[in-house]
Amino acid sequence: MSPAYAQAAPAAPNALMQFAPLIFLLVLFYFMLIRPQMKRSREVKDMLGKLAKGDEVISSGGLTGVVRELGENFISVEIADNVTVKLQKSAVVSVLPKGTLKAQ
């Protein structure tokens, strides 16, 4: 019978190497999710800040019209001749180029 020898314990892995996949995922989430969302939010805020009378806009509900009055939180949009609706500024999705509604 041969004597049994105990094997040496494996070396403990480096702590940094254990957390490397987690750090990689956090960096990936930042560049793929968080950063683009912050950029889009900034663009929308700038667009709403630059709204002016006479701008042609599209609302989140699909209404298109011309801005007639601006308030701090609400705007009045003329969607047809002598038909004006009041919308929240946050409901504006995009500003159309001038003359877009006349072409339709």
Closest CA to 65 of 91, 36, 35: 91
Q: Cβ(76)–Cβ(86) under 8 Å?
A: yes
Answer yes or no: is 81 within a domain. Answer: yes
Task: Indicate if 46 and 59 belong to the same structural domain.
Answer: no
Give the model confidence (pLDDT) of 17-30 as tens digits. Answer: 888 899 999 999 99
Task: Indicate if 36 and 64 belong to the same structural domain.
Answer: no
Answer yes or no: is 35 within a domain. Answer: yes
Q: Can you give the residue range of the structural domain that contains 43?
A: 14-50
Closest CA to 79 of 93, 67, 91, 71: 67
- DSSP strand E in the chain: where? 56-59, 64-70, 74-80, 83-88, 92-96
pTM over 0.85: no
Task: Indicate if 44 and 56 belong to the same structural domain.
Answer: no
Give the model confidence (pLDDT) of 65-83 as tens digits. Answer: 999 999 999 999 999 999 9
